[in-house]
Structure 1
Amino acid sequence: MKYNAFGKLGTEVSRLGFGAMGLGGVFGAHDEKELIRSVLHSLEQGVSFIDTARNYGESERILGLALREWKGEKPFIASKIQSKGPGNLGWGKPIPIETAFPQGWLRESTEISLRELGVETIDLMQLHQYWPQWDSVDYWMEELLQLKHEGKIRGIGVSLPDQRHDLALSLVQSGKIDSVQTVFHIFDPLPLDCLIPICQENSVAVIARCILDEGGLTGFLREETEFGEGDFRKSYFEYLPRSLYMERVNRLKEAYVPKYANSLAELAVKFVLHHPGVTAAISSMHIPRYADENIAAVDREPLPEDVFEEIRQHHRWVRNFYETKYWQ
């Protein structure tokens, strides 16, 4: 495993992090004991960064149970405050900050997270959505700074709602936050254009999410693949004919696997971690054998610079699959 200092906070974190969304059942039902074991397994392999959220069902509670069993060094825990907004909850289009995070809610949600996780301090608390219109309102940052002053949280971050990567540039440059979380993968390398280098200039950590494109960049998707009710991927991969997605995936396989990576998933992990401005990349590692594949990719030979640039320029395929959820 490789490690990075987490922005201005300075804490060393693993470059590959445990994305705990899968603990909440969004990728299908799993036995709770097995989910706890998956967390412990990743920690044993050197993972020291875990990202969860109030909005991930039972994720914080299950993670808390795993942390009580863990006997090693405490991992860096990041969580997110759940929006109270109605309708689309502000994911697809902006809503007022007073609707998404009314006064007092940031503290209330944080207190719930602390209890569920069973910790006294959360290393990073993020807004689970962010719109730059909110910068003209002061109270939400003041509430987060007060929580930081009280020692309930150590750092402040924002998670961007979808592929609009540059929403937080002004906030990054303001010096008020410690991290930005954004979608970043082979098909969507746009954070490399502005967000990642500007975060790097301002010592703001970058958390890359969806690095395997909800699993699509593992090559698992087939025409006959079925998803159960409640599985997040059911609508995600209905955005366009699956044959188009599979064709894009096959192009990557034919060009770069096994010459530059043992698997498509390894190629995807290597691509996202290639830029030093990416502090940590999170992947759903609630299934240990998949976790092992992703973890192993970190220590393998990095992509040659020319191959990285070739993938960046010739395999980008930017589209917002979340539109099937919020713009039906």
Structure 2
Amino acid sequence: MKSNAFGRSGKQVSRLGFGAMGLGGAFGPYTDNELVRSVLHSLENGVNLIDTARNYGESERIIGLALREWRGEAPFIASKVQSKGPGNLGWGMPIPVETAYPKGWLRESTEISLGQLGVESIDLMQLHQYWPQWDQTGYWMEELQQLKREGKIKAIGISLPDQRHDIALSIIQSGQIDAVQTVFNIFDPLALDCLIPICQEHQVAVIARCILDEGGLTGFLREDTVFEPDDFRASYFDYMPRQVYIDRVNRLREEYVPAYANSLAELAIRFVLHHPGVTTAISSMHIPQYADENIAAAGRDPLPGEVFEQIRRHHRWVRNFYETKYWW
């Protein structure tokens, strides 16, 4: 497993990280034993960064169980403060910071995370929601800085609500944060245009998420695919007729598989990892088979430069599928 220095910290993290939303049931129910095994399996195979959140159901608790069994070097743990905004408010459009993170809540949420994970310090604590107008009200940053001074967290980051990368530029340039988590995949490579180069300039780590577009870039989706009501993807692909999405995926397959990758998932992972400004890319690996496939893909050589540029220019498809979840 290849690694990168995590921002200014210099700590080495695996270029492929364990995205732990699936541990909370977002993609279907699994037993504690199955999920713990999936975490340990990834750690055993070179993944050393785990990204979770208070908002991911039982995810932190499951990771805590796995860490108690793990006998290797401690992995890099990233979590996110849970927003107190009611319902889906704050994900699709801004809400006041006092609603999302009232005074004292950042500490309370962090203390809960520490207890669930069973650790004394969290390597990276991120705001699960962030809007730039909050920068005018500085108490939340001071609370995070105080947690950092106390050693309860080691670094501060933000997770962007959706694909609007420009909202993070001012806080990146301010020097107050250590990491940004953002949507980045074949269909939405816009983070490359501005966000990632500016993060490189300021030594801010970039965590790429949705690298497989909630699984769509694996080619699994069919017209008749049915999701359970509590599956995160239940409305995600219904932003438009599904055949439109399927046609886009098939075009990728026809042009690049197997000529440049063994599978669509491999192509998607190697695309995201191509740019050196991406510190780590997280993928849901709650099933060991997924972990094996993703780890193998991350270990392959980079895509040829001309192929990468071809995909970046001709397969970008900018749309916000989160609208079906948060705005409709």
Query: Once the two structures are superposed, what CA deviation does each residue of 1:37-87 show, in whole Å capped at 9, x if it has no partner?
Result: 000000000000000000000000001000100000000000000000124
Deviation at 1:261, TM superposition (A): 0.5
CA RMSD of aligned residues (A): 0.6
- Corresponding residue of 2:307: 307
Alpha-carbon separation, structure 2, partners of 1:261 and 1:45:
21
Q: Tell me which stretches of 4 or more aligned residues in structure 1 moved more than 3 Å.
A: none
Cα separation, 2, equivalents of 1:280 and 1:255: 26
TM-superposed deviation, 1:212: 0.1
Q: Specify the alignment match of 1:214 in structure 2.
A: 214
Matched residue type, 2:234: K
Deviation at 1:223, TM superposition (A): 1.0
Aligned match of 1:126: 126
Amino acid across the alignment from 1:220:
F
Partner of 1:57 in structure 2? 57
Measure the CA separation in 1 of the matches of 2:88 and 2:268.
30
- If the length of structure 2 is used for normalisation, what is the TM-score? 0.99
Residues 54 and 109 of structure 1 are in contact (CA less than 8 Å); yes or no, is this contact kept in structure 2?
Answer: yes
Amino acid at match of 2:226: E
1:326 is aligned to: 326
TM-superposed CA distance for 1:131, in Å, is 0.4
1:1-328 correspondence runs (5 A) = 1-328=1-328
Identity %: 79
Letter in 2 for 1:256: Y
Unaligned runs of at least 5 residues, structure 2? none
- More displaced, 44-53 or 78-87? 78-87
Contact 1:83 1:89 in 2 (8 A): no
Q: TM-score, normalised by structure 1?
A: 0.99
User: What per-residue deviation string (whole Å, max 9, x for no partner) do you get for residues 10-45 of structure 1?
Assistant: 110000000000000010111210000000000000
How far apart in 2 are the matches of 1:226 and 1:91?
Answer: 25
Maintained 8 Å contact 1:179/1:204: yes
Conservation of the 8 A alpha-carbon contact between 1:79 and 1:122: yes
Quote how far apart the aligned CAs of 1:239 are: 1.2
TM superposition shift of 1:106: 0.1
Query: Per-residue deviation at 1:138?
Result: 1.1
Aligned residues: 328
Structure 2: distance between partners of 1:224 and 1:133 = 42
Is the contact made by 1:185 and 1:268 (CA closer than 8 Å) also made in structure 2? yes
In 1: Cα distance, 2:89 partner to 2:38 partner: 30
Query: What secondary structure is seen at the aligned counterpart in 1 of 2:282?
Result: strand
Distance (whole Å) between structure 1 residues aligned to residue 154 and residue 309 of structure 2:
36
